[in-house]
Each structure stands twice: as structure tokens, then as C-alpha cells.
Amino acid sequence: MNSRTDPSPPPRPANWIVTTCRGRLAHLRESLPSWLEQCHGWEPVVVVCDDPEALEYASGEVRLAGRGLVIGTQQGQYFNRLEAIRLAVDAIFNGHPADGRTEHLPSSGIAECLCFENVAETQKICILDADVVALRATERALASVANGAIGIADSPTRDEQGFLIAPALVLHQALLLLPPNVYAGYGYEDTALRIACWIVNHGHFVRVPCCWAHRRHDGALRTRFHAEGMRAASTKNGIALSEFVAARVSPDDRAACLSDCLWKKDGHARKAV
């Protein structure tokens, strides 16, 4: 009788999907299971802000799946997406659990003791909005962004500005360029993060078609964000963004940077797939 040695189990996924959630439980109920089911090479990291019900739901999903990380934090009156993303990236570099777990951080809590030497240059972080439902082609589309490149949505619409896929090391370094709590509230933080990544990576953007995922964006939710101070925050953040570009991007590079990051038709970004 021939003996057979069972193959070793596959290595843990080396890439991450980062999303933030505040008041979007209905979206998360559709998107999080789809990422766990369709994106086997990507580990979900969900930052839940001021939402106990969404925190309980997401925690249950990652425990059942045996992978992923949920971070619960408190931000107070206004949702600050950029700082929620910062929490997720810091947790990744601090060593996220591999068995599905929840971490609770205080309102000002950011993971310390960053160990970014443990993150390889080939590892990526993809930032998705909570309403992006993965399809069978999603993982293939994410993989089409070559190592070292930054992927943005192939669409100029505001609803697609939140999508970003970048080398983990680049995203970490980009966040170091953006001091905490400068971009208050919600608005323009997507552009600030893109520009910071562009500076670190010296461009190298590609555009990923939007047909690989399904969005369930709720227009009423954005209306509520406006009512909660999004317009005021956007005005303040717009000023901070202009100052950031003036300080960090040379005049010779400014046109190319803004063309890529703001998705101009004559931009330099290439098609990914």
C-alpha cells in the first residue's frame, strides 16, 4: 500500500482589505461576507466607529470565518474616516491576529510598537467602502494591480474616490506624511491619502475598472453626513490639502500629481486590466 504525505496547509493570506463603518450595518451585512467568501487572498480589517451593533455583527463574522480583524473605536460626534484607516494600518503593522478577533481601542488609541519590517514589499492593502460587495471577479481585479503600483478606480465619480489599493509599506509611509487629526471629520481625506501615496511612490498609478464589484451606496447617508458637518469639514480639509500639496509636491510635479490623484482624463495613470 502506497503511503501519501498530506501537503502542508497554504500560507495565511498576505494582503488586506480595510474598511470603515459608522452607521452602515446594512451595507456591512452584504459586503463583509462577500469579501470573506470571494477574496481568499485578502484578510478583512474592519474599523467600526461608534456603532455597537455593527461591531457585534462584524466580530461574529470574523470569528465564524476564523480570519480577519475588527477594531472598535469611539470618535464622538463626527466620523473621521482617515483616522479610522490609520487605526487599521497601524494594527496590520503591529501584527493582526490570524484567527478572527476583535480589538477595542479608546477614542485616541492608535496601535503602538509598529513592526513594519515584518510586512513584505509584495503585500498590499486595499481600501474599500463598506458598501462594496465582492463578486467572483473581484480578487482577480485586485491582483491585476502589479506589485509596486497604486490602483485607483477607473471612474471620476465621487462615490469611487474611496477605492485605493497600494503596497502596504507605501500606505504606511503615506500615513506618516499626514499628521493625525489634521483632516477633521469627513471630506477630502480620500484625496489627501492618494496624494500622500503618490508622493511616496513617485506616481505609478493604475486605474481599475469598476465593473468587478457591486456598490450599494445610499444617497440618504451622504445627505446625513452633510447635515452632521461634512460641508464645514470639507472646507477646512480643502485648505489643509492645499497647504499639504504646496509643502510636499514640487511645482514641476504638481500638475502630474493632481492629474493622477484627481482622475483627470489626461492623467498619467494606466489601465490595470
Per-residue pLDDT of the chain (273 residues), as tens digits, is 444 444 444 444 479 999 999 888 999 999 999 999 999 999 999 999 989 999 999 999 999 998 889 999 988 877 788 999 999 999 888 876 656 666 766 543 333 333 444 667 789 999 999 999 999 999 999 999 998 999 998 877 766 778 999 999 999 999 999 998 888 776 788 889 999 999 999 878 898 988 888 776 666 665 665 565 566 677 888 899 999 999 999 999 999 998 888 866 555 555 554
Where would I find the H helices in 112-227?
138-143, 168-177, 189-201, 219-225
Q: Name the helix (H) or strand (E) containing 15.
A: strand 15-21
Q: How far apart are CA 168 and CA 173, in angstroms?
A: 9
Superfamily of domain 15-271: Spore Coat Polysaccharide Biosynthesis Protein SpsA; Chain A (3.90.550.10)
CB 213 within 8 A of CB 133: yes
Label the pairing between strands 150-153 and 42-49. Answer: unpaired
Segments making up each domain of the chain, as ranges = 15-271
C-alpha cell at 142: 485586485
The model's pTM: 0.84
Task: Extract the runs of DSSP E, i.e. beta strands, from 29-172.
Answer: 42-49, 69-73, 101-104, 124-127, 132-134, 150-153, 164-167
Give the per-residue pLDDT at 97. Answer: 60
Q: How far apart are CA 74 and CA 83, in angstroms?
A: 11
